[in-house]
Amino acid sequence: MIVLAVVLSFGLLVIAAVHALWGAKVWWPIADETALARTVVGQTGIEKMPPGLSCFFVAGALGVGALAPWAALDFFPLPGPDVVFGRCLTAAFAAVFLLRGLAGYLGPFSRHFSEEPFRSLDRRFYSPLCLAFGAGFTAVFLGVSS
């Protein structure tokens, strides 16, 4: 379970760091804002990246997600009933990632986020990655709940 927690945390922290860069208006890995927005957001007709505050919010949420497996495994103290809170947090992140991963293959999501190259990248990489994170969080949740 420790190895899985490390993998989940490392992956989410890397993605959080990239979102923080975007929040600071550092367009990476594509220097052109419009091209980057069409690659990583994909909303139909998008020409600009989301506001910095939105990117920082996502970075913060991903940072909390990076801590969730450790909370579930009771590696650090939390307010209230520690392990229960950690399990709930882990279950919430499992649900969010599984739903986001599945959404990438459904019609309404595909119509709203139809810009290329996002659409192709989502089906090939983003949605499967979300499903993998969801499965990882589910495994941690089930591992600590048994």
Give me the pLDDT at residue 85, please: 79
CB-count exposure of residue 33 (10 Å: 0-12, 13-18, 19+) = middle
* pLDDT tier for residue 19 given thresholds of 50, 70 and 90: very high
Tell which residue, 122, 133, 130, 129, has the closest CA to residue 40: 122
Give me the pLDDT at residue 73, please: 87
Give me the pLDDT at residue 84, please: 76
d(CA 15, CA 44): 23
Q: Both tokens of residue 43?
A: 């909303």
pLDDT digits (tens, 9 = 90+) for 33-46: 999 999 999 999 99
The domains of the chain are located at 2-145
Average pLDDT on 93-97 reads: 98
pLDDT for 89 beyond 80: yes
Give me the pLDDT at residue 79, please: 64
Q: Both tokens of residue 33?
A: 């804002």
This prediction has a pTM of 0.92
* pLDDT tier for residue 80 given thresholds of 50, 70 and 90: low
